[in-house]
A and B are shown apart, each in its own frame.
Chain A
Amino acid sequence: MLRRILRLLVLLLAVPVPAAEPGPSAAAGIRPAGEPGLRFRVGDDPRWADPAFDDSDWQPISGRELPARSGIYWVRWRLRARPVPPLRPPDGLLLKVVASYDLYWDGRLIGRSGRVSADADDESPGFVDTLFQLPPDLLGPGEHIVALRMSSWHTGFPGPTYGLNLARGNFRAMLVERSRTALFSVMAVGAALVAAVVFGLMWLLAGRRRSLLVCSVLFAVVALLQALQAWRWLYEYPYDWHYPRLVVITALATALAVLLPVFLLEHFEIRRRRAWALVPLAGALVLAWFSTPFYNGISLFACAAGFAVALGVAIAAVVRRRRGARVAAAGLAASLVALIAAPRDFLDYAFFLSAGPALLGLLVMVVLDLREERRAARRMQLTAARLETELLKKNIQPHFLLNTLATIQEVIEQEPRTAVTLIDALAAEFRILSRVAGQTLIPLGEELELCRAHLRVMSLRKGAVCELVARGVDEAAPIPPALFHTLVENGLTHLAPRGGRIEFDLRADRLAGGVRYTLTARGERQAAAAEPREGTGLRYVRARLEESFTGAWSLAGVPVPEGWETMIELRTPVAVAPLRAAAAPAWPQPQPVSP
């Protein structure tokens, strides 16, 4: 019962598609299908071409009931011609049929398509579409008799019967129309090919994102599909190729129906509910292939199912507020409506028109995404540049450098040997700084070196012992440059020496999938500055952490009896990754994160 309903549904969709498989009629003209007076007889007799022959005892049939693979048979029917218009006489006759035949008009042999034979091996297949020109002397008003001597040994269609499609019109006009029919398909091939290549290259060059590959394949399928459509109009082919061509086209349409939702699922990164979309789609596609013998119908049904499921995915993405989801949904909805409202000729020139909005929507969506990515990348670049500048500025800015110079002035005059030591320490700090400034991550060992150089300068300036002790740290672990250096600077600003010392103690504790650094600064907390405000130093630390450990870090500071304690947790397993000194390119580069 269910199967019958579904079958009915499929047929409903397929109804306006010409039942005769070799495509729709191209020109306004006479369609033998349903034409009264189409008569059929198995056998072979040259007298049957004669218009005067009495075929009243022949079997009346419809245009889609011709028997496949049944030796030689004849078909005859009568045409009534209107008075001939002088400018465009109806001297063209287009036959679309998967058989070899001889065409007689009023008893005269007009043309042959292939070689008709009673023997399968002897038959040579003619072209599927053949356009004949009728001699002017046969175009007079009144009744004309068309007779076809046919054999169809090479018809690949599995059914026992096949159809015949005939159109009559002006020969030249029909020639022009055939090339015009190919126009949309050819345009579509070009556009889809370009899109496929562009997305393929983007996939190759830009991080191998799977959605880009799926998109490239999708457009390649569209290009192939359209190329196969256009083939019929641009190059004649023997009728035994017609069946395999239709099978491939239908397979491609089915692939398209699968690729559309898969691409959207990939693009919008909807992973968990994937089965919700793909299982019903698979069911619909299997149904499509088994419920109708007409390939046009299968393609139409498959594409409709693909559009509908893709639309569902796009709507789910709209609900999730994904970028470009509205455009994709709008395009898919437009295509679905176009497909259902005008399913006729879908596989020929209409495909591009009805699938166009959906494909355009997808393109816009991808481009929107790429634009956002470019912006994000630009932001990252700017952030990196800004942070580098900030790092350098922090150190060549008045407070540190000018104070140090003032101290140097004093020691030069008072104890020149100390001045040399101080200048050496300052130079060492700046050498390390210039080495690490342009990088996003440096090994912890190098950072500690920077801190110690700074502490040597400050020891001389403060007249106190300023020291850093590191315990349990992995010196190869990557951290942003001047991270602890900044915290040490802050500590020195807010602490006064206790017993002639300011000490810093750095401890690393491994956490599940991360590491926690605890920096304890020991000294006399100065009453006026007990709580360090969120100054430029801490802002720099936060920006650097966000740049390299986006969303996977935390920073906290608390006063402790001995001074101040700062904790930094990095929840990326960076401590595990082995690092070589100054091997910047090998380090994990931050990736833009989609919201």
Chain B
Amino acid sequence: MRILIVEDEPLLAQRLERFCREILGEKLESVRCANLWAEAAARLDESPIDLLLLDLNLHGRDGMQLLAASVAGSFHTVVVSANTDQALRAFEYGVIDFVPKPFSQERLAQALRRVTEKDARTAGAAKYLAVRKAGRVELIAIDEIVYAEGAGAYAELVLADGRRELHDKTLEKLQTLLPPGFERIHKSYLVRWSAIKALHAQEGSRYEAELRSGLRLPVGRSRYKELRALLG
């Protein structure tokens, strides 16, 4: 795992780095520290990361903009901050965890587990997904999303009004963030459960889910039985 730590107090950066090494051991590919998000963000293209540990004063507009910019990235974000009163807001923006300062190694380990473990899910508190658009970041309300379609390193979000938005995270990372109402029906599709009208079995063991909009999406063979049971 590649980790970036943004923390302007050297002792705390040192503490985070030490804990990461101790928790992840072999699994840690690289860890970098930066004083400010702005200077680290510029170098993300050349050296991509999987996780951002962000110290952030979320009070004020600057803080929230910064957070939106970071959660729009392809990586997961864990906020490490003393401003616990802003934790809920951070979750709404789609951070995978909020570690309050002061923190122990156990607490950080718990946060890292959410990133590393397969099928790990957040409490589903996210309300927005941030998407990058022509140099700025726009927030999409999760309520508007009907389904997400995986496209390699990206995911395409399809909204209720038919708009499609490109999100920088993989479908797997999105699944971790999105609330439980979304089901993975196919390796490339993550669909809002309430949007599915019916399941259809086609010839040749092809399965399809019919959405309320009339649109049909493929269903993975391994997922069909489970979904069938869920639909009752």
What is the interface of chain A, defined by CB distance below 8 A to chain B? 398-399, 401-403, 405-411, 414, 460-463, 493, 496, 526-529, 533, 535
Contact = CB atoms under 8 A, between A and B. Distances in A.
A409 B15 contact: yes
B21 to A, nearest CB: 14
Contact of A409 (B8, B10, B102): B102
Contacts of B84: 398
B126 to A, nearest CB: 23
B11 A407 contact: yes
A72 to B, nearest CB: 103
A410 B11 contact: yes
B102 A405 contact: yes
B110 interface: no
B83 interface: yes
B101 A410 contact: no
Which of A402, A529, A533 has the most chain B CB within a 10 Å cutoff? Answer: A402
Nearest to B80: A406
A486 to B, nearest CB: 15
B161 to A, nearest CB: 34
B82 A410 contact: no
Contacts of A535: 59-60
Given A403-B12, A409-B103, A410-B14, 14 more contacts: A398-B82, A401-B82, A402-B102, A405-B102, A406-B12, A406-B82, A406-B101, A407-B11, A409-B104, A410-B12, A461-B11, A462-B8, A526-B36, A535-B59
A529 B57 CA distance: 12
B143 interface: no
12 contacts: A399-B82, A403-B82, A405-B102, A409-B102, A414-B11, A461-B11, A463-B10, A496-B36, A526-B36, A526-B38, A527-B36, A529-B62
A405 B101 contact: yes
State the 8 A-B residue pairs at the shortest beta-carbon distance, nearest first. A402-B82, A406-B102, A463-B10, A398-B82, A410-B15, A406-B101, A405-B102, A528-B38
Interface of B: 8-12, 14-15, 35-38, 57, 59-60, 62, 66, 82-85, 100-104
A529 B100 CA distance: 23
Contacts of B83: 398-399
Contacts of B104: 409
A407 B11 CA distance: 6
A460 B10 CA distance: 9
A559 B59 CA distance: 23
A403 B11 contact: no
A406 B101 CA distance: 6
A398 B66 CA distance: 20
A406 B36 contact: no
Contacts of B15: 406, 409-410
A559 to B, nearest CB: 17
Contacts of B37: 528
Contact of A528 (B10, B14, B66, B82): B66
A529 B60 CA distance: 12
Contact of A496 (B35, B85, B100): B35
A493 B56 CA distance: 12
B44 to A, nearest CB: 16
A409 B102 CA distance: 7
B154 to A, nearest CB: 27
A406 B103 contact: yes
B8 A496 contact: yes
A414 B66 CA distance: 32
Nearest to B12: A406
A257 to B, nearest CB: 64
Nearest to B8: A496
Which of B9, B10, B35, B103 has the most chain A CB within a 10 Å cutoff? Answer: B9
A463 B11 contact: yes
A66 B15 CA distance: 115
Contacts of B9: 403, 407, 461-463
A492 B122 CA distance: 35
Given A407-B12, A409-B102, A463-B11, A533 B60 contact: yes
A210 to B, nearest CB: 50
A526 B10 CA distance: 16
Contacts of B38: 526-528
A462 B10 contact: yes
A411 B59 CA distance: 27
Contacts of B14: 410, 414
Contacts of B11: 407, 410-411, 414, 460-461, 463
Nearest to B35: A496
Nearest to A407: B11
B62 A528 contact: yes
Which of B10, B85, B104 has the most chain A CB within a 10 Å cutoff? Answer: B10
Contacts of A399: 57, 82-83
Contacts of A529: 62
Contacts of B8: 462, 496
